[in-house]
Chain A
Amino acid sequence: MANIQGAGTQQHTYDAIVIGSGISGGWAAKELTEKGLKTLVLERGRDVKHGDYPTAMTESWEFEGRTKLLPAELAKQEKQNRTGYTTHPASAHWFVNDLENPYSEEQRFDWMRGYHVGGRSLLWGRQSYRLSDLDFEANAKEAIAVDWPIRYADIAPWYDYAEKFAGISGSLEGLPHLPDGEFLPPMEMNCLEKDVKRRVASAFGGRPIIIGRVANLTQPHNGRATCQYRNRCIRGCPYGAYFSSNAATLPAAYATGNLTLRPFSIVSEIIYDKNRSRATGVRIIDTQTNEVIEFFAKIIFSCASAVASTSILLQSTSERFPHGLGNDSGELGHNLMDHHFKVGAAGVSDDFKDSYFRGQRANGIYIPRFRNLNKETARKDYLRGFGYQGSASRTDWARGIKELNMFGSKFKADMIAPGPWRFGIGAWGECLPYHANRLTLNSKLRDKWGQPTVTFDCGWKENEYAMRKDMKASAVEMLEAAGLKDVTPYDDVVNSAPGNCIHEMGTARMGRDPKTSVLNKWNQVHTVPNVFVTDGACMTSGACVNPSLTYMALTARACDHAVKELKQHNL
């Protein structure tokens, strides 16, 4: 990085600035650069070039502690460890040091972060589903929070657009509440999954079980290779076989010649010019030199993730916006959502003993929402709904750990062979947008760069708890109807704390009215129209599906609008 301290304003001026390089930031970079804008992408963490994935080809025996981190290393990631999988030695380097990046909790909130180029696009679960009008209309119909300012028809072409580039494999099902998309060929179900699918459809009036719609390629796509079925995605994929900023959007942005990517750059605030009623740029801290530097642009896309984007807006105070940029409504920081999960059931099967699968499929099955779709499926005990993710597999040697009285030569032979087939599902449920669920800035606890930190005050409420009962009961009901044995429910509500699902949404919601929302239907800050927020912060409600595909579509749509508005000199 050249020393740019002392360089002139002109040298610090771009057409567009994008804050963050994760799923949303990568898309903004691609779209804006492809439309000819000189674009500066600011990333607070280190650079990661595609392929720079140190554990991608590491075998279990090459990790000294096999599945464990050294205690001194784990002590730096106590909060990141709350998911139970993030701090495995294969992936711990993608998650932040909690000691250097503290936050506070009025109620437990599990904030999982990856501070590096690509952000959590390297780490995501890759499940990719469209919202539908069931979701976009729900708030209005139920008088919850505020109405979404868009409907499915507004975003549908942008889902098409995002899917075509990203590469989503899946099956066409014709479900109105889980719209089909531009899919690559679906992955295959295994023997038991096909059997359970057939039995559940038969027992529950055609209730579908479908293969997961996943951002893993089932054929070569846009210069990226097909999935190798290693199921080691979280380490980074050297084949580029799943969608990430590093493998897909950032290379496309670089190819235009219009991208400048600046790692080690924490945006501390967006600079506002009250005379023009526009943002003029951003102020950053270079984390390597501690220099404070300003960059300027005609438009700013905040894609730093829900919590970080809202924090930046809250920090961007001025005479005009004493409570944070664009926060006339007072809603900035409120209506924080995640999905609640870790509830479901599992059972075993005595069938298919002579069958196995080949390859490690980086995907599971999906049971689309079947509650509160219409009058016939309406529930009295809760609003909205949930979908299930799951899979069948043959159990492995890990089942032998807990059975203490099993050991010896027969035990060893049993553990070497594939164990009984097991089918498990877990529900992902919608959380309503509650004004009381919020984040605030904490100026008393500052990070190592002197920046205020975040305090979370967010919890599930009656609707989520009532839904969880059905999430568990319906799982048991289906698995028993499917003929599985030893069907065992689970509900780990403690470890389904908000944040744990890593789907933070809301806090700068879209809406029709500047008095009750932060962003308009184009993801523009109502009162500062050259600032766009297109990450999870914008969500007006959470739906029950994984949200990243929606961020891709909304980002591409907002970029298109921004460039049109720029050309018409409206920004």
Chain B
Amino acid sequence: MSQPTLSSAPVQPHLADTMTRRAALKRAALFLGVALTPSLIANVLQAAAVPGAKALFLSSAQLDLVTAIAERILPRTDTPGASDVGVPAFVDLMLGKYSTESERQVFTAGLDEVNAASLAAHAQSFVKVSAEQQDAILMRIAVASQKKDKTFFHQIKELTVVGYFTSEIVGRTVLHYDPVPGRFQGCVPISEVGNVLWTK
């Protein structure tokens, strides 16, 4: 659990077609040493829906931006990154179906600010700059947002973290999946159960 080899490589935002998704998923599975069942693949591909046509709310460019931000929050390492488990599509779904109009406005204005900050600092849009530059931009926004309520960064952080940790691939293969434990033991050495959380 120690080689974040891919963490500095920004995920290409145009991972658009199913074949690329499938390849990404296979890579993620390789890191994990798990077998991908057809149903798991189908679910993840569905969750990581193709941007553009199927997006409920976000434009293709906005979805690319969300993908890039989410991937900096939870980057691909020896475990899958946010985009590997369908976080961008989840963000789109939550905005499109589960949010209020004012929440949507806060979110899209926030996306614009991220891009504006990138253009101001690097004369390039956020998705084009390096991972380090992306991190620096996000950190400035995060620090500025911390003492406020319900900002864009609160939204993207929550949606990314919740979307990631309640996803099937994380629930089944990253965390410790045991839906019917059948017993309770109050104190076990962590080495016996793996140094990961139980899937809830």
Which residues in A have some Cβ–Cβ distance to B below 8 Å?
A: 57, 59-61, 64-71, 187-191, 193-194, 227-231, 352-361, 394, 396-398, 400-401, 404-405, 407-409, 411-413, 415-418
Partner of A360, one of B43, B74, B181: B181
Q: Can you pick out 14 interface pairs between chain A and chain B where the beta carbons lie within 8 Å of each other?
A: A57-B179, A59-B179, A228-B180, A228-B182, A352-B187, A355-B190, A358-B188, A359-B181, A397-B197, A404-B143, A407-B74, A407-B157, A409-B77, A416-B175
Contact: B197 with A404, CB < 8 Å?
A: no
Interface size of B by CB at 8 A reads: 61
Contact: B161 with A413, CB < 8 Å?
A: no
CB of B110, distance to nearest CB on chain A (Å): 12
Contact: B171 with A70, CB < 8 Å?
A: no
CA distance A417 to B190 in the complex (A): 10
Residues of chain B with a CB closer than 8 A to A408's CB:
7, 72-73, 75, 135
Contact: A188 with B185, CB < 8 Å?
A: yes
Residues of chain B with a CB closer than 8 A to A401's CB:
157-158, 161-162
A-contacting residues, B133-178, CB 8 Å: 135, 138-139, 142-143, 145-146, 153-154, 157-158, 161-163, 165-168, 171, 174-175, 178
Given contacts A357-B185, A416-B175, 13 further A-B contacts (CB under 8 A): A60-B166, A61-B47, A67-B162, A70-B98, A193-B186, A231-B200, A356-B193, A407-B135, A408-B135, A412-B77, A413-B79, A416-B79, A417-B195
A-B pair count, CB < 8 Å, reads 162
Choose among B174, B181, B195 the residue with the greatest number of A CB atoms under 10 Å from its CB: B181
Residues of chain A with a CB closer than 8 A to B73's CB:
407-408, 411
Residues of chain B with a CB closer than 8 A to A66's CB:
90, 162-163, 166
CB of A474, distance to nearest CB on chain B (Å): 25
**A359-B161 contact in complex given A61-B167, A412-B75, C-beta closer than 8 Å:** no
CA distance A413 to B135 in the complex (A): 17
**A415-B180 contact in complex given A404-B145, A407-B73, C-beta closer than 8 Å:** no
CA distance A357 to B47 in the complex (A): 31
Contact: A360 with B158, CB < 8 Å?
A: no
CB of A360, distance to nearest CB on chain B (Å): 7
Contact: A413 with B1, CB < 8 Å?
A: yes
**A71-B175 contact in complex given A397-B197, A408-B7, A413-B77, C-beta closer than 8 Å:** no
Interface residue? B93 (CB, 8 A): yes
Contact: B186 with A188, CB < 8 Å?
A: yes
Contact: B74 with A64, CB < 8 Å?
A: no
| CB-CB nearest in chain B for A419 | B197
Partner of A229, one of B175, B182, B199: B182
Contact: B43 with A61, CB < 8 Å?
A: yes
CB of A142, distance to nearest CB on chain B (Å): 40
For B68-97 the 0/1 string (1 means CB < 8 A from A) is 000011110101000000000010011001
Residues of chain B with a CB closer than 8 A to A404's CB:
142-143, 145-146, 153-154, 157
Contact: A71 with B79, CB < 8 Å?
A: no
CA distance A407 to B93 in the complex (A): 22
CA distance A190 to B146 in the complex (A): 34
Contact: A64 with B93, CB < 8 Å?
A: yes
**A189-B186 contact in complex given A396-B197, A407-B157, A418-B197, C-beta closer than 8 Å:** yes
| CB-CB nearest in chain A for B143 | A405
| CB-CB nearest in chain A for B138 | A407
Residues of chain B with a CB closer than 8 A to A70's CB:
97-98
Contact: A409 with B139, CB < 8 Å?
A: no
Contact: B174 with A416, CB < 8 Å?
A: yes
| CB-CB nearest in chain A for B166 | A60
Contact: A229 with B157, CB < 8 Å?
A: no
| CB-CB nearest in chain B for A410 | B4
Contact: A416 with B197, CB < 8 Å?
A: yes
Contact: A194 with B186, CB < 8 Å?
A: yes
Contact: A412 with B190, CB < 8 Å?
A: no
CA distance A409 to B7 in the complex (A): 7
Contact: B100 with A71, CB < 8 Å?
A: yes
Contact: A65 with B98, CB < 8 Å?
A: yes
| CB-CB nearest in chain B for A363 | B184
Q: For the complex of A and B, list the 8 residue pairs with the smallest distance between their C-beta atoms, beginning with the closest.
A: A359-B181, A359-B184, A190-B186, A60-B166, A404-B142, A61-B168, A188-B186, A407-B73
